[in-house]
Amino acid sequence: MRTDSAEERIGVFLDYENLAIGARESLGLKRFDFGPIARAMAERGRVVYRRAYADWSGFDEDRRHLARHQVELIEIPQRMGTSRKNAADIKMVVDALELAFERAFVTTIVICTGDSDFTPLVQKLRELDRRVIGIGVRDSTSKLLPPACDEFLFYDSLEGVDAVREAPERKGDDGGDYAGAGPAASLDELVISTLAGMQGSAVDVRASTLKRAIQRIDPTFSEADHGFRGFTELLRHLAERQVVELSGTKRDPDVDLVTGGGPSKAAFDLLVAVVGDAGKKGAAMSGLKTELRRRNPDFSERAIGYGGFLQFCKAAATKDLVTMAWDDKRGDYLLTPAD
C-alpha cells in the first residue's frame, strides 16, 4: 500500500556483476560507477535502501567505491557455473519481495540489471502497487525487461557516465569519489542539471522540491554559501539572468527551463559558429566540444540542462540549427551547417 507522502521513497537493488561486465564490455569503463545512478535516484525521491549482490572477491576497488555511496554489499560465495549466478538472482528476488511486503512506506523499487530473468519479479512488484524503475547497460539489456517496468533508464544515458568514461580516476582520500555535484560544478550547472532530471519524471517542479533534490545530490548545499538569504531569492537571481523561468506563487514558485534566450541561446550560437567555420566538410563531434571550450572555456552543456554533449548536438539538429548524421568512415557523428 502506498503512502500519502508526495515524496517517493526508493529501494535500490543492483545485480552488480551484470552491470559491471556490461559497462566494461559495452562502454569501455574500467570500473562501474554508482554515482550516476545515485544522482538519478536522488532527483526522483529519497533513497532509503541500497543493496548490491555479487561475488566481491573480484571487485575489491568496487567495494570501496560502493561503501562510499552507503550501498550494503551482499556476498554471494564463489561456486561453479551458473549456480553462483542463480544464487545471486534468487537472493536479490527474495530481498526485493521482502522489502515490498514488509516496508509499506517504500513506494518505488529500482532493479539495476539487464537480465530478463528479473522480468517476473518486476511484474510481481507492480502487482503489489510498487512503481518499478529498471536500469541497465543498453547493449547488455534484454528486450524483454524494459517494457515490464514503469520506467527504464539506460545507464549509458545517465548524467555523468560520459565524464566517468573520459576522465582518469582520481586518487585521494575516501571522500574523493563523492556522488554529489563536486567542487568543479557551478551553481548554474547544479540547479539546471537537477531541474532537467526532475522534469523527466515530473510535470511541475516547485522551488521547495527542487531544493530537496539538490540537497539529496549534494547534502552540503546551502544557498547561504552563495550569498543568498533563501532558495527562492537564489532562483530569482537565476531567473534575472535567464538561467531558469519562474511562475506561480512568490513563496514556492514553479521552476522551469528557459526555452528562449539566455545561456542556452549563447551555447547554440557558439555551436553554429564553430560548425559554420568547418564548412561543407563538416565537424566531427568527437573534437567539437574541445573547440567550443577553446573559444569559450565556460561552455558546459550540462549548465543548460543537457545530460551530455550528444544530447546537446541532437537538440541543435532538432532545432534545424545544424545538420547531424552518422559517418561510417569516421565512426563518428558529422555536423554540418544547416541548409
114-141 tens-digit pLDDT: 999 999 999 999 999 999 999 999 888 8
C-alpha 23/C-alpha 52 separation (Å) is 16
Whether residue 43 has pLDDT greater than 50? yes
pLDDT surpasses 90 at 80: no
Give the model's pLDDT for residue 110.
Answer: 96
| 189 pLDDT more than 60 | yes
Burial 142-168 (b: 16+ CB within 10 A, else e): eeebbebbeebbbbbebbbbbebeeee
| pLDDT at position 241 | 82
Domains of the chain in sequence order: 8-177 (3.40.50.1010), 187-257 (3.30.420), 263-337 (3.30.420.610)
pTM of the entire predicted model: 0.60
Give the residue with greater pLDDT, 169 vs 98.
Answer: 98
Closest CA to 285 of 330, 339, 319, 318: 330
The model's confidence at residue 37, banded by pLDDT at 50, 70 and 90, is very high
Q: What is the model's pLDDT at position 169?
A: 44
pLDDT value for 336: 92
Higher-pLDDT residue of 164, 140: 140
pLDDT at 78: 64
How far apart (Å, rounded) are the C-alpha atoms in residues 128 and 121?
A: 11
Q: Which of 12, 8, 40, 37 is nearest to 197 (CA)?
A: 40
- Of residues 200 and 131, more confidence is placed in 131
Question: What confidence score (pLDDT) does residue 260 get?
Answer: 63
In angstroms, the Cα distances linking 291 to 212, 247, 265, 270 are 36, 36, 18, 10
Q: Could you give the angle at the alpha carbon of 26 between the alpha carbons of 110 and 49, nearest 5°?
A: 20
- Measured from the Cβ of residue 225, the count of other Cβ atoms closer than 10 Å reads 9
